[in-house]
Structures are given as C-alpha cells and as structure tokens.
Structure 1
Amino acid sequence: MAPQPLHPVTVLEQCHVSPSPAPAAGQPRVLPLTFFDLVFWGFPPVQRLLFYDNADLLGVSDFTLGELPRIKKSLAAALHHFYPLAGKLTCEMAEGVVPEVVFSQGDSVPLTVAVSGDDFEDLAGDHARDTTRLHPLLPALRKHGGSRSQDVLAVQVTVFPRAGICIGTTLHHAVADGSSYAHFLRTWAAIHRLGPECRKVLEMDVPPLFDRGVVRDDAGLREAFLRDHRGLAAAGDRRLDGWDLSLRPGVVLATFRFTDKQLRALGGHVESATSARCSPYALACGAAWAGIVHARGGGSGRNVDGAAAAPRAHFGFVTGCKPRASPPIPANYFGNCLGLCRVEAGERGLTAAAASAAIWRVIEGLAEEGRALRDARGWVRSVREYASARAVTVAGSPKLRLYAAADFGGAWGRPRKVEIASVERTGAVALAESGRDGDGGIEVGLALPRAEMEAFRAFYQDLFASLC
C-alpha cells in the first residue's frame, strides 16, 4: 500500500486548456513514435515541480481572480505552438497497432488548481523532505477509451497563501525529452512574462519541428524496439519496478549543491588521482554515484538491509543525439533524441574520483563518429537490466537551464526551486543548473530511504571537507 499524503490539497478547479488559436491546418495531426521515443515506452512519466515564492500573495482569491486567467491564457497560447502536448498517446503495443500521438480538434491539457496548507518554505528547501508531501502537488495523466489512450501532459497549479505557488507538470517520457520540455516551458513563460509583446520574441525564436522524417532509421530500430516491447509485455516483464521507491515508507527527497569552487577542487583531486580531466557534469555525477553506492553499503560489501552487495556498480546517463545523427537532426526537433550510455565500476569502496573518471572516459568516447548509436539495438532490454541491478541514472541536465526557461516575470520571476519529483520512481539523480540567480555550479537532487540519505549526506560532507 502506498504511503498516504501528509498534507492533502484542496482542489479548487479542474478545467481543460486547448491550444489557442488552433494549430494551422497544414500541421501534422499524427506523430508516430520514433525509435528514440520507444526507448522510454513504459517509463514512469517525468514529473517536475516549480516553486515560485511571493509573500504578497495574500489569499486564494487574489490568485484566482488576478493571476490564474493569465496563466490559462498563456498556456493556451503556448499550446498553439506545442499542440501535440494536448493530444492523446496510444497505450497499446499489440501487433498492427502503431504507437503514436494523435491531436484532434478540441483536445486539451487538463489543468488542476488547488490550495495547500503545507509549509511552502519547507517544501521548497534543499533538506530531506518526505516525498509523500510532494505527491499532492503532482497531476496525473488520465487514460481514455478503456485505457487505449492517455493524456500526454497534465498541469497543476497549487496556491500557498501568503507564500507562493507551485506549478507541477507531468509529461509522458515517450513523447518528449528534456530539451523539448524546456523549449515548451520557455515559450509558455515568455508568453506569460511579455504579454502582448511576446509575439515579437516568438517570431525570433525557432518554432518546434514535428517532422518525423528527420529521424533516419536505416537499421530498422523502430521495428526492433516494437518487437522487444511486445516480447517483454508477453513475458510480464516488470523489471523497471526495480527503481520504484514510491511504495516504500520513509523515502525522502533532498538537493545537494555542487558549487563552482567545490567542482574545481574535486576536479583537481580527480586529475591527481586518475589523470582524468573531467567536466563539471562528470564530477557531479561521479560524486553522486559514489555517494549512493556508499549509502547502500557498497563500501562495506553489504547493503543497509544486510543483504550481500553486487560486485559491480552500474551508472547510466543519456547523451543528446541531434548533432550526432547522420544527417544531424535540427535542434528544434520536438520529441526524444537521446542515446543511452552505460558505465560500470567495482562497487566495493567506489570513490568519487574513480566514479568520475569512469564516467568521463565514456563521455570522451562519444567523440568517435557513430559511437552514440553503436549499441542502440539493445537499448530497450538493457534499460531493464539496469533497473533490475538498481543502477544509478541521470534525469535532467544543467544545459537545459530550466531556471531561466521558467521565468514567468512579474510577481513570480524565476522559480525559487525546480525539482524532478519523479526520480523517486526512476532511480535517477536530478541535475540542474544551480539556483535561480545563475550563480554557477550544479544542483543534484535525489530520492532515497531516509537512512541512505543520511549516509549520502555524510559522504558528501566528508568528501568536500577533505578537499579544503
């Protein structure tokens, strides 16, 4: 049984927001899923929370009468450009059924407006918070037609009187990756921020490209992935559940900030220990990976629960394939376009230096032409192998610059905090650029059982204390 929310919200309104104006007649209404999309079929949806503080927000009526109509209007205008997000995704993978996103006239994005009595300041902090407190802020994707199709995107705005608001979004990962999500969010925020002046800005921005013809599939990966998914479904494969902590009690979410100064110090240490000159991304990932392995008991060869530990530690991250495809895929392409990268290292006593160097070696190897897609044929099944091994993976990227993308202007500005709450179900660490002020560094968010989180925090503190 799933843990119950500690602070349920009160729903004020549930409505639907359609693209306005409707998309042009020449725009495609059906978007077949590509092999890049099919990699993420069956994954939990990506759920983000954007916290905006505003102590001048006196009460619910101030928001519903003043700001809410503007949010609805700007969302509708953004959906004009990103109308597939208002469509429906087919849920079936049977023979003869083509997985696709279908947009029909009148389709919409469900929008929930709620009010919470929870502590906004506490929820938007970096310290460990029970994940059950965040669940009421996240909208669900509805299913339709006897579960034959489902929504692509859902949005919830939760008001915290005299404190601020939280915008929660739930997006099906088989429809869009982080880059496409950031493009949508940047467009929505710009329309809201600039009002009537937004047209000039949007004319300068590159609109999303929905043409699936730009994704070459000479190796027949799409059909191969469809066969893999059908075979896994027939076998009742549930290995992705190996990452899911949402049904366990006592799971907490926390954020750890890696400042520029800390990353430089760590980089010097890694170079002296391994000769690898790592990027900040590899350093933050390596420290997080080593810390999680340590928190699970990898340093002692035993897990926290006393079970025998696996001899190898596994890490996975994604790499953007738009510039690496042949021919290159335009940067404004809307959908998934990510390659999967795997890293392994000895689990016992894994250090931040060894983990960072191992990740960096794989990143360096991507410079070889064709390397990013060389092992693509096995992606669907290898993801499930990694889930069963409880591999640490990555969600988000500092390159997405979500704090800047989500600048709604006016009384809100940039969010105080951005969380990828769905890491609770995907075994991932969430990466973002550090802070609303763009002051450098990388934020690392992760969900762990409380005892493991305390062990991770001790590892993090000891690591940087040793580098001072």
Structure 2
Amino acid sequence: MAPGPLTLAVTVLEQYHVSPTPAPAPGQLRSLPLTFFDLVFWDFPPVQRLFFYASADLSDVPDFLHSKLPLLNESLAAALHHFYPLAGRLPCRIQECASPEVVYSDGDSVRLTVAVSRDDFQDLAGDHPRDTARLRPLLPPLAKHGGCHRPSQDVLAVQVTVFPGAGVCVGTTLHHAVADGSSYVHFLKTWAAIHRLGDECREAVVVGYTPPLFDRGVLRDDTALRESFIHDHRHLVESGDRRLDEWDVSRRPDTVLATFRFTDELLRRLGRHVESDTSARCSPYALVCGAAWAGIVRARCVGGGGDADDDGDNARFGFVTGCKPRMSPPIPSSYFGNCLGLCFVEADRRCLTAASASAAIWLVIAGLAEQGRALRDARGWVRGAREYAAARAVTVAGSPKLGVYAAADFGAAWGGQPRKVEIVSVERTGALALAESGGRNGDGGIEVGLALPRLQMEAFRAFHAELVGLLHANDVATPLLREPKS
C-alpha cells in the first residue's frame, strides 16, 4: 500500500526564471487582447498537467541538476522565444481592466521550479485510484505580482520533480484564458522537439516549424461577443457569483484520481451496441463520453453525493468543439489562443444508459455540421457554464486528437514519450480528462482520467468493469447499465 500523503515530502531545490531567448524582436506585439473565446474561460481554474517519465538515466538528483537540467532550461527558453506571451502576465481582476489582455514586457519570465520527491513514482504514474493530495505538490502555482494595486499574475509555470531511482515528473500550470489545448500542445511539441534534437539540430526544428499566429485580426466578432462577455463577467463578480465552485471536489479529503481505458476493440463493440440500441453511428469520442457520463450519474447515486441537478430528472453534459475550421473565414490551425465553442447536452437521468448518453452527445456533435451552428448560442456561454457548474454537469478536458503523448517526447534520455499524462485540474472542474491512449499494451483507443470522491470512484469502477464484461460477452440485448432507481 502506498504511504499516505502526510508522510510524503516534496522538497524544492531551485527556482529559475526562464525568459524567452533570444528576446522577441522589437517590432513584435507586446500585448494580446483576450478574445471572446478567451473570455469564456477567464475565471476557470488553470489547466494543470503532469507528465511522468520513467527512466534510470533521470534518477540521480545531482546528475540531473548537472547534466539534464541545463538543457531543459535552455530548450524552454528557446521555445518561449516563439511563444513569448506565455512569459507574460494577465490582470487578476477583470473589473479593473478596460480591455483584458496578456502583456509581455522585456525581462518577463516563466518560473521553473526544480524539486525532489520521496513518493512512490510507479504508484503515482498508475491507472488505479490515487489520492489527489499526493499529486498536487508536483504542480506549480501561478505567481501573482503587484500587491493590492492592479495585481497581475503569470500565465504559465513549470515544475520538474525528480524521483530518485525511478524517474521525473514535469508539471505545468496554464491560465485557461490564454490558450486552449491545441495552442498548449503546439508549445509543448516545440519545446520537446528543441530539447530532443539539441543545439546541433536546433535549426532543423526551425526549418520544419510552424510558428504560432498571434494576430487577433483573423478572428471576426460581428456580434460584439467580447463586450458582452466582459459585461457578464463584471456583473458576476459584482453579484458574488461562486457557482463554478460547485464542480470543485478538491476540498474533499477523500478525492481520488483514476484512469479508465477504452481500447479500440472495446469501442468497436460499444459502437455496434449503441447503433443496435439507438440507430446512432457514434464517433469514438461520443462513445467514450457517453459511457463515462452514464457511469458518473450512476456513481453519484450508488456512491453518494446525489446528482444535484437543478431540473431533478435531467442529467447534464458539456463539451467543447474546435471552432477554427468553423469560423468564416476559417482560422489558421497555428492561431494561438482559445478557439473553442461550448456545447450543452441534457437527458433524462432516470433512463440514462451508456447507449442513450452516447447517442445524445452524438446528436449535438452531428448538428455542428450546420453552417454557423457552433456560435448560434454563444451569447449565453459565460452564464451557461455557471448554470452547468451549479447543476454539477459532467464536462470534458483535453481531447484524444491533441496527441499529448507524442508531443511530450523529450528524447531518449527521458525514455521517449511519457509513461503517463494526467490532467489533475479535473478535480476542480468536474471534467473527464481525455487523451489518446498511452497504453503500454498497444491496444490503442482513448483513456479517461476522472476525479471523484472515493466511494463514487468505487461505484464508477464497478460500472466500467460491468460495461467491459457485457460488451465482451456480446450481450447486445442487455441495456448498457441504466442507473439504479434511487
């Protein structure tokens, strides 16, 4: 059994301030106004990821500090040269901003913390439920500046934690209003490539490199959504709205994080069952989300905590859709910032099964093909997110399309791709953490990270095991795990 969190220690060894190197050219933009896409996520918790690298070459602390850390530091500085807004700052309070923006000033930097941990690396990097209190010390906070007068905050922080004799964990904390998953992975992929190829091949990275696009002029806002969202946020602050906190289970002492894998074969079986039951030919994304949604609704009933849904009998689900190709004109894929639309799904909680939940999600996804549909209800996004938080809706973080495992390959000395990637911040947002499977068995598919109170997690694990058993038994006549009546 792994030791409890109170017996473990993470000791900070060094803190560095890594500035873009070389510094941005004098003519480059120093401030990026937040767009309406960015403002949707203004007061969401930051996105926090952990990358676990198992490698004997990274296990000795003095050697890591002497031979590995300098290259990591240098490659981060080189990547920030291209993504310099990540070294900038955001205002802490929107009510004091005439126009919220990310501002980079010469000398700004990203804080890089280097630490050592005595915890069990293999256990932390597993799929089984782990106490989230053990994972939080591996994550860096976003520093604040300026005291009480117009305070600002960093937008990115990095922490590298060495586990002697086992490996290394890289933790990142990113303000969600600055970048979505696509822009984050663009940065990560660039940083890892520079580190992997080293100084002698750095030019090769630049030659085949697509730089980030910071030009806000490519994004049209014909209906003044930006001004509307700023007004909504200021009104919510003045009214003391705290509904986003309803998602947060991090304050509960029994919260655990676990990973559930849906292999390609399991998804094929699930897809056949859903089509047989509902006539819907769902994407793998819809299938995984539907199964997880139904499982969480059941777990809340069986494991305690209720569904706390405003409508009583309605279960709610929210996800995001990439809007770059859906805008008119389309936005280049290299655009840096947020470009995600919010999508809302509701279904009868009493009749929710993996099949019906998948079909309901797929119906909304299919409807996005309609011209302009992604932005049709955009004016209600800021307030709608809070309504869904108050109803403790299940939402989604990450995407298997991002390819975080491949993007985070820092080279052979790090053991190649990470052994495990976690989005630990889902404990504060109530979201499913989706990624392409980093499955070590080569089974492909999608992995789902989930943070729940321990009793609910046990109920969800039972649901997942039963679902897998039914699908492998080819029992298509059995409804896929309707929630027990309460």
State the Cα distance separating 1:15 from its structure 2 match. Answer: 1.2
Which residue pairs with 2:400 in the alignment?
398
In structure 2, the CA distance between the partners of 1:306 and 1:367, relative to structure 1 (3 Å rule), is closer
8 Å CA contact 1:59, 1:161 repeated in 2:
yes
Q: Does 1:198 align with 2:199?
A: no
TM-score norm. by structure 1 comes to: 0.96
For structure 2, the 5+ residue unaligned runs are 473-486
Which residue pairs with 1:135 in the alignment?
136
Give the residue type in structure 2 aligned to 1:316.
G
Question: Distance in 2 between the 1:362 and 1:441 partners?
Answer: 22
Which residue pairs with 1:83 in the alignment?
84
Aligned with 1:411: secondary structure?
helix
Which residue pairs with 1:70 in the alignment?
71
Which residue pairs with 1:460 in the alignment?
464
Give the residue type in structure 1 aligned to 2:451.
A
For structure 1, the 5+ residue unaligned runs are none
State which drifts further: 256-265 or 427-436.
Answer: 427-436
Give the residue type in structure 2 aligned to 1:330.
P
Which residue pairs with 2:251 in the alignment?
247
TM-score norm. by structure 2 comes to: 0.93
Give the residue type in structure 1 aligned to 2:329.
P
Question: Distance in 2 between the 1:411 and 1:96 partners?
Answer: 45
Question: Distance in 1 between the 2:343 and 2:219 partners?
Answer: 20
Q: Does 1:379 align with 2:381?
A: yes
The sequence identity of aligned pairs, in percent, is: 73
8 Å CA contact 1:6, 1:133 repeated in 2:
no
Aligned with 1:348: secondary structure?
helix
In structure 2, the CA distance between the partners of 1:327 and 1:130, relative to structure 1 (3 Å rule), is same
Which residue pairs with 2:304 in the alignment?
304
State the Cα distance separating 1:409 from its structure 2 match. Answer: 0.5
Give the residue type in structure 2 aligned to 1:433.
E
Which residue pairs with 1:144 in the alignment?
145
Question: Distance in 2 between the 1:229 and 1:292 partners?
Answer: 30
Question: Distance in 2 between the 1:307 and 1:355 partners?
Answer: 16
8 Å CA contact 2:113, 2:158 repeated in 1:
yes
* Counterparts of residues 37-436 of structure 1 (less than 5 Å): 37-94=38-95, 97-146=98-147, 148-195=151-198, 196-297=200-301, 304-305=304-305, 310-412=312-414, 413-435=416-438
State the Cα distance separating 1:191 from its structure 2 match. Answer: 0.2
In structure 2, the CA distance between the partners of 1:266 and 1:38, relative to structure 1 (3 Å rule), is same
| Runs of at least 4 residues off by over 6 Å | 306-309
Question: Distance in 1 between the 2:104 and 2:197 partners?
Answer: 28
State which drifts further: 267-276 or 138-147.
Answer: 138-147
State which drifts further: 409-418 or 359-368.
Answer: 409-418
8 Å CA contact 1:91, 1:99 repeated in 2:
no
Measured against aligned partners, the alpha-carbon deviations of 1:77-100 in whole angstroms (never above 9, x if no partner) come to 000000000001112222652211
Question: Distance in 2 between the 1:439 and 1:187 partners?
Answer: 27
8 Å CA contact 1:253, 1:446 repeated in 2:
yes
Question: Distance in 2 between the 1:210 and 1:349 partners?
Answer: 46
Give the residue type in structure 2 aligned to 1:153.
L
Aligned with 1:334: secondary structure?
coil
State the Cα distance separating 1:410 from its structure 2 match. Answer: 2.2
Corresponding pairs, count: 462
Question: Distance in 1 between the 2:467 and 2:217 partners?
Answer: 48
State which drifts further: 195-204 or 67-76.
Answer: 195-204
State the Cα distance separating 1:331 from its structure 2 match. Answer: 0.5
